[in-house]
Amino acid sequence: MTLTVGFIGLGVMGSPLAHRVLASGFPLTVWNRTPDRTEPLHEAGATVAASPADLARTCDVIALCVTDQRAVTAVALGPDGLHTAPGRGQLVVDHSSIPAATTRTVAGRLRAANGMSWLDAPVSGGTPAAERGTLTVMAGGSRYDFDRVQGLLRAYARQITLMGPLGAGQATKLCNQIIVAANIWGVAEAATLAEAAGIVPERLLQALAGGFADTPLLRHYLPHMLDPHDDTLGTLTDLVKDLDAALAAARATGAPLPLTAHLAELLRIANRWTPPRISGSFIGLLRGPGHTDTRDDPS
């Protein structure tokens, strides 16, 4: 039997995911806090719901891809939220990046309200992978719930792993973000040194190909990082949010994360230095006053 799917959150990640769900043949209903973002999907054949609760009444699986824990909580437990809909075995699949503790709390309250199940399933790969259908999904929840949405997840993900019980997917995403932040800051420093040495930074891609420094992050991120107007990779604010969540989890468990703490503060400063929506905006912090990133950006 084909699952009926609802999708909530149609931003830079959610919109391409929802389009892939629709293109894969799933009956789709969508809702977004900003209604005009539903129009392209409506024109493509999706139904538009009046509220999260309205969406939940007709869908077997409800996918979320919203900005933060406040948005997830509002969708699930706020006025006209999922908790006000009749429960009939629906499963929420949350692709947002939020703290594991919040996941467990919201999921527990929703189950108590109407019996809906929850799978935390944050993603990695960015908008390009979402558009290609090659995202990485790291999930937390029961094996039963994980197995029942394999067909749906395959519409937009290539690597799908159940990491453990509720919250394990979110914890894995924080590990992912630590690795991403450390690597892209290293790329920024390498590009800065290359420029100072009179080397065209893009030539690093050719020179380092096949060596230990040759990584997907280097190849993907460096060209975007060097363009002062490129905003295709989303906002750096989300990465800072995730690093802060990792540090909060580390404090709660006693895990030392000294580099992560330093990176979070560097990126927080960078977000004040240049517009955080510009891809790799933090390289401006290394280049110093007078660089073209802020002068040329219309904001």
Q: Read off the pLDDT of residues 184-234 as tens digits, 9 standing for 90 and up.
A: 999 999 999 999 999 999 999 999 999 999 998 899 889 988 887 777 776
> How far is the C-alpha of 154 from the C-alpha of 135, rounded, in Å?
9
Residue-wise pLDDT tens for the chain (299 aa)? 689 999 999 998 999 999 999 999 999 999 999 999 999 999 999 999 999 999 999 999 999 999 999 999 999 999 999 999 999 999 999 999 999 999 999 999 999 999 999 999 999 988 889 999 999 999 999 999 999 999 999 999 999 999 999 999 999 999 999 999 999 999 999 999 999 999 999 999 999 999 999 998 899 889 988 887 777 776 788 899 999 999 999 999 999 999 999 999 999 998 888 887 777 778 888 887 655 544 344 33
Q: Quick one: pLDDT at residue 291?
A: 56
Task: Tell me if 41 sits within 8 A of 19, measured CB to CB.
Answer: yes
Q: Quick one: pLDDT at residue 293?
A: 44
- Distance of alpha carbon 54 from its chain centroid, rounded? 25
Nearest to 65 by CA among 156, 150, 3, 4: 156
Write down the pTM of the prediction.
Answer: 0.90
Q: Quick one: pLDDT at residue 275?
A: 81
Q: Quick one: pLDDT at residue 232?
A: 73
> How far is the C-alpha of 125 from the C-alpha of 217, rounded, in Å?
10
Q: Quick one: pLDDT at residue 231?
A: 77
CB atoms inside a 10 Å sphere around CB 88 = 11
CATH topology of domain 5-165: Rossmann fold (3.40.50)
Bridge partners of 47? 29
Catalytic residue among 83, 148, 173, 277: 173
> How far is the C-alpha of 257 from the C-alpha of 82, rounded, in Å?
36
The structural domains of the chain, with segments of one domain joined by +, span 5-165, 171-296
> How far is the C-alpha of 287 from the C-alpha of 162, rounded, in Å?
41
The first and second tokens of residue 171, run together, are 């914890």
Q: Quick one: pLDDT at residue 76?
A: 98
- In the residue annotation, 173 being an active-site residue is answered as yes
Q: Among 2.40.30.10, 1.10.3720.10, 1.10.540.10, 1.10.1040.10, name the CATH number for the domain at 171-296.
A: 1.10.1040.10
Start-to-end CA span in the chain (Å)? 50
Chain segment 20-39, per-residue pLDDT in tens: 999 999 999 999 999 999 99
Q: What is the mean pLDDT of the chain?
A: 92
Q: Which residues contact 220 (CB under 8 A, 6 or more apart)?
A: 128
